[in-house]
Structure 1
Amino acid sequence: MSIYSEMLSKSVEESGLKLDKIADLIENQIGSKPSKEYLSRLKNGKTSPASNKINDALARILGIDPWDLKTAAYREKVPHEVIKRFQKTS
């Protein structure tokens, strides 16, 4: 499980909210509703991290820092070779 999905899974569990409710709350914030199945795949690491728009909504709903969630998402999306290259130059 990735840092992103671990963070998301833990936050969902701690919130006590069901995925259906989270999907409804996201729809209220951004105007489109992700499916319960999509949210499940996100939290279980079965799909790539969500867009910034959805991550911002998730962070607000779940009470987590949006930058922490987006940073975890970026780390997963960026190819490993690119991360290695950044580490060499810093």
Structure 2
Amino acid sequence: MSYFKMLNKAIDKKKFSLNQICFQLAKRDIWLDRAILSKMKNGKVPPAKDELNKALAEILDLDPNEFRVAAIKETITDDLFELIRSAK
């Protein structure tokens, strides 16, 4: 599942408003504007940085590793992802 679909589904499942999520992030000293979160949710901006993804995964009860990998897959090419995946 794509990063954006995971984010959207998790927000819907938790029934949190974007403001509530931003408030939860602020409690973790991560400042994110609701408008940016909305754009992230709708796939209008690239996936967030790793620190934000870890916090979002915690707040939204997502598997943090799966969510972080989904973010990386959205930002790098498929062949580079496979190269990283196969490296030992």
TM-score calculated relative to the size of structure 1:
0.85
Which of 68, 71, 74 is equivalent to 1:70? 68
In the alignment, which residue of structure 2 is the partner of 1:21?
A: 20
Is the 8 Å Cα contact of residues 30 and 52 (structure 2) preserved in structure 1?
no
In the alignment, which residue of structure 2 is the partner of 1:55?
A: 53
In the alignment, which residue of structure 2 is the partner of 1:40?
A: 38
Indicate the structure with greater helix content: 1
Provide the C-alpha distance between the structure 2 equivalents of 1:11 and 1:81, rounded to a whole number of angstroms: 28
Provide the C-alpha distance between the structure 2 equivalents of 1:26 and 1:32, rounded to a whole number of angstroms: 5
Gapped regions of structure 1 (runs ≥ 5):
none
Alpha carbon RMSD of aligned pairs, Å? 1.9
Identity %: 29
Provide the C-alpha distance between the structure 2 equivalents of 1:36 and 1:65, rounded to a whole number of angstroms: 23
Gapped regions of structure 2 (runs ≥ 5):
none
Q: Which amino acid aligns with 2:65?
A: W
Q: Size of the alignment, in residue pairs?
A: 86
Runs of 4+ in 1 over 2 A off after TM superposition: 79-84
Q: CA deviation at 1:32?
A: 3.0
Provide the C-alpha distance between the structure 2 equivalents of 1:83 and 1:63, rounded to a whole number of angstroms: 25
TM-score calculated relative to the size of structure 2:
0.87
